[in-house]
A = this chain, B = another copy of it.
Amino acid sequence: MEQLNVGILGWGTVGCGVIEILQSHREEIKKRLGRELVLKKVADIDLERPRPVSLPREILTRDAKAVIEDPDIDIVVELIGGIEPARSFIMKALERGKHVVTANKALLAHHGNELFDFARKHQRIIAYEASVAGGIPFIKSLREGLAANNIDTVFGILNGTANFILTRMRESGLTFQEALKEAQSRGYAEADPRLDIEGIDTAHKLAITAAIAFNMSIVFDSIYVEGISGIDPLDIQFGEEFGYVLKLLAIARLGEGGVELRVHPTFIPSGHVLAGVRGAYNAVHVHGDAVGHVMLYGLGAGMMPTGSAVVADLMDLARDIAQGIHCRLPALGSYELNPIPVKPMDEVVTCYYFRFSAVDQPGVLSKISGILGRNNISISAVIQKGRHIGGAVPIVMVTHEAVESSVRRAIEEIDRLDVVRAKTQLIRIENLPVNYSEV
């Protein structure tokens, strides 16, 4: 029985998960592969820090080159994260004939196109299941399982940190700062949480997802991104009264004029399956023309779930290598990518939730709705809560479908009114059908 040798760059949380699985599941993996996956070398700049898994001294190194240049290593697992040196390491590994497994969504979002090209030229594979939705076998499902479909929409809750914070804000009325602090103390959020809370991590994953779903290049820079740090628990409560739950949603929708790619706080109907995804869980909802609606749900991060996805990639690659295959599948699911323009955010049509902070006096509502009307924005519901004669009160509105650029123009005008006392809160709504069944 041949063995396959694996080298790991980056002995962090996910690295520990991969090592733990390779160690404790050695027998099962051998039975499933018909060969052994052997951990040959692990490189990290810090070898001393305490970790949940231990390794024999002789396979540890501080030198990434010792992994990349080891002629016995068949597959290099990049778990350093970030752009450099991860990118250079991956390219060097490919040049030396190694296949690569990575969980690095930031790198793929920014440099995936060139890296996949580079891998193809070297007849090597970059596997990246762990880069989106952690333990959920989402890349495989989308690229292979649903390959018979033309996919038109993907909705995803792709960041467990943001979802945890929104869940706590909703269920316990915490402010954003309180919920963030709790997420940090529980280890769900980093000391510098910007990537997670500002939607950037979600956008990285959306860029990769859309490329596979629509067989297009990875475009990160054209994604509209808005995070959750400006969310007030008040809006979550008002949304609730209209039957909505707030999620940080990744949206990819193919339509006339191109593809919408956007990440922003989104109200979705509380009866929709995605609304029930609580805490650190992730979920992705895909619509394909043949399969209809499909949803996948699970943990999108963490040592063991992400380790599960990395090792699944290792096993897939091991099966390919065993058969002497270079490239069973094109990286983004197609040998020919479609030139699909990204629809400018200004042209997006959706429904909106507004919270105006207006002086409580007669005629205010008429002024606001007049401006909305002149911008072709029609209102489907209004709530005015509380009274505070002469002071500011929240006026909450939900609209029918409107064009983003008109909405922005209207809100700018409204915010200049002297009866309006604070910046209007704007949250987009996706009126997803609550149940796809005909029942």
Contacts and interface: CB of A to CB of B under 8 A. Distances in A.
Contact of A290 (B289, B292, B308): B308
A275 B263 CA distance: 29
Interface in A304-338: 304-305, 307-312, 314-316, 319-320, 323, 325, 328-330, 333-336
A145 interface: yes
A435 interface: yes
Given A141-B141, A278-B437, A439-B164, A148 B292 contact: no
Contacts of A329: 319
A329 B144 CA distance: 15
Size category of the binding interface on chain A:
35 or more
A29 B302 CA distance: 35
A148 B306 CA distance: 11
A216 to B, nearest CB: 12
Contacts of A258: none
A136 interface: yes
A305 B279 contact: no
Interface in A283-311: 288-299, 302, 304-305, 307-311
Given A140-B140, A144-B312, A437 B279 contact: yes
A305 to B, nearest CB: 5
Copies in the complex: 2
B145 A129 contact: yes
Contact of A171 (B215, B302, B439): B439
A135 B328 CA distance: 23
B297 A292 contact: no
A297 B273 contact: yes
B291 A294 contact: no
B290 A307 contact: yes
A171 B438 CA distance: 13
A316 B144 contact: yes
B294 A136 contact: yes
A137 B148 contact: no
A25 B290 CA distance: 10
B280 A292 contact: no
Contact of A291 (B147, B150, B290, B299): B299
Given A32-B334, A33-B335, A145-B312, 19 more contacts: A17-B290, A21-B148, A32-B147, A137-B146, A140-B140, A141-B141, A141-B296, A146-B308, A147-B311, A148-B308, A148-B315, A167-B439, A171-B439, A291-B305, A292-B305, A295-B295, A295-B296, A295-B297, A297-B297
16 contacts: A21-B148, A21-B290, A25-B149, A28-B150, A29-B148, A31-B215, A137-B145, A147-B312, A171-B439, A278-B439, A281-B436, A291-B298, A291-B305, A295-B297, A323-B325, A323-B328
